Amino acid sequence: TEGDAKRGDDGTREEIDASSCGRCVNLIGFSFGARVVYACLKELLRLQELWDEERFSPSNKVNIVDCDDGTSFICAREPKSVVGNVVVMGMPAHVKRDKWASIRERVVAGRIVNCWSSRDDVVKLLFQYRRKLGSIGAKGEVVGCQPVGVEGVEDIDASEVVLQHEDWGTKVRDVFALVGEL
């Protein structure tokens, strides 16, 4: 949603400033929290593209990134150096393989893990309802219910652990047993 994107944009800029000590952060979220993580990743990708354009500009000496909204943003470090690993679980969003591939290639240093469950009926019903309303396309695949299918993105089937949407929050330890060490 628009709110997820706004939280992702704000959180991303704060993370770039706060993480100037040089350590990477791991981003982990389930359900709508996973959407916020995805929004952060998309914003980092956008900022990385701006960084790449600006850093080769002879007039840019202090890592200033000019944003589309007319604001400028001083990056303490390169956007692609912020995120170490990403785990999204039961994410209610469409699969956009080209975006996932770009994020994999240009933003995340470590692992990207998509945990999904074919038994997550809440996410399935949400998207069926949105399709009936005409607010989304008829063929959209949902990240939280199936693999993303992009090289470098690990798809973990948590269907044996997550029997319903609410399980993402209560069975995090079991899901992370499938994910392994980050």
Alpha-carbon distance of 136 to 126, in angstroms, equals 11
State whether residue 115 is helix, strand or coil: strand
Report which DSSP code applies to 96. Answer: -
pLDDT value at residue 18: 47
pLDDT value at residue 99: 95
Residues of the chain with pLDDT under 50: 18-20
pLDDT value at residue 140: 66
Instruction: Give the pLDDT confidence of 138-150 residue by residue, as tens digits.
Output: 556 788 999 999 9
pLDDT value at residue 165: 94
pLDDT value at residue 20: 47
Alpha-carbon distance of 101 to 55, in angstroms, equals 23
The two three-digit tokens of residue 26, written as one number: 């791991």
Alpha-carbon distance of 21 to 18, in angstroms, equals 8
